[in-house]
Amino acid sequence: MRRWRRVTTRHSKTYILYIFENYQLLGKKKKPKMLPEGFSMGKTFKLLGIGVVAATLSLEGISWLLRCLRDGRGRPVKEVLFFPTTVTCINHLFLPGPCSCSLPHGDGTPFTRLLRHLLSARSSLDLCIFAFSSQELCRVVLELHRQRGVSVRVVTDKDYMMISGSQIGALRKAGISVRHELGGFHMHHKFAVVDKKLLITGSLNWTHQAVQGNKENVLVTEDSGFVRPFLLEFEKLWDANDPARSPTLSDFIML
């Protein structure tokens, strides 16, 4: 049986002590009270709801922490990269062991940092790019698609995908889903979303000239307030440029 006892301290704070006692009164067992005085079922459910929310937030925090530990980092990504970059070897990003080529090695350049962010993809890469002729960046996308099983989708410009040196044809031949702008204007975006949680965006086209010659910038962030609008924009462009909705001759051209 339970009996509720109210005790007042010298600081005038009231605490309710839950004391479990087994006893009999006048030969009859006293019916226990299920809740202390002043409590109601409504208040109880409200407290339970608060507890559930707190537990959910705690689980989300633990999940984020585990992702950070898995990726080898302890805080959300937030980085700005400026170009042009110096020429360095990137073979160590793909192959185990040291490289014997004559190019400088290391992860300190903006371009190497960019490649590492892209290679962090585990499930998906959504790419919206105006001009794509960089063989190094193409190598990264093909690595994700062929070797790591990452789902890759690409939206590009219908005119610039046809220029000399474009890597769009190589992506299509590898089986990557590619759609191009079907309207009369350019698809001028330059952004990528990794695993639907990491945004890479800026002025940088994926070309040799942009990487090693132009003055360019790239913002990398996991801030959901920025990532979410870009995800919505990508899905809007992906649906709007479905060739099944508006087939043209150029839709069937394989570069």
Longest dimension (CA), the chain: 100
Contact 154, 168 (CB under 8 A): yes
Concerning whether 188 is annotated as a catalytic residue, the answer is yes
Determine the average pLDDT of the residues in 116-139.
98
User: Active site residue: 33, 173, 188, 236, which one?
Assistant: 188
Q: What is the pLDDT of residues 180-221, one digit of tens each?
A: 999 999 999 999 999 999 999 999 999 999 999 999 999 999
- d(Cα 20, Cα 246) in Å, to the nearest integer? 75
- Listing DSSP states for 33-64 in one string gives PSS-TT--HHHHHHHHHHHHHHHHHHHHHHHH
Confidence check: pLDDT of 154 > 50: yes
Concerning whether 190 is annotated as a catalytic residue, the answer is yes
Judging by DSSP bridges, how do beta strands 198-202 and 190-194 pair with one another? antiparallel
Determine the average pLDDT of the residues in 33-42.
59
- d(Cα 107, Cα 88) in Å, to the nearest integer? 9
Task: Please report, rounded to a whole number, the percentage of residues in the chain having pLDDT higher than 90.
Answer: 58
User: Active site residue: 159, 195, 223, 251, which one?
Assistant: 195
Determine the average pLDDT of the residues in 131-149.
98
Report the pLDDT value the prediction gives residue 30, as an integer from 0 to 100: 52
Report the pLDDT value the prediction gives residue 25, as an integer from 0 to 100: 44
User: Active site residue: 117, 145, 158, 190, which one?
Assistant: 190
Using N-to-C axis directions, what is the helix angle for 110-119 and 135-142, rounded to 10°? 20
Give residue 11's pLDDT band: very low, low, confident or very high (50, 70, 90). very low
- d(Cα 132, Cα 207) in Å, to the nearest integer? 6
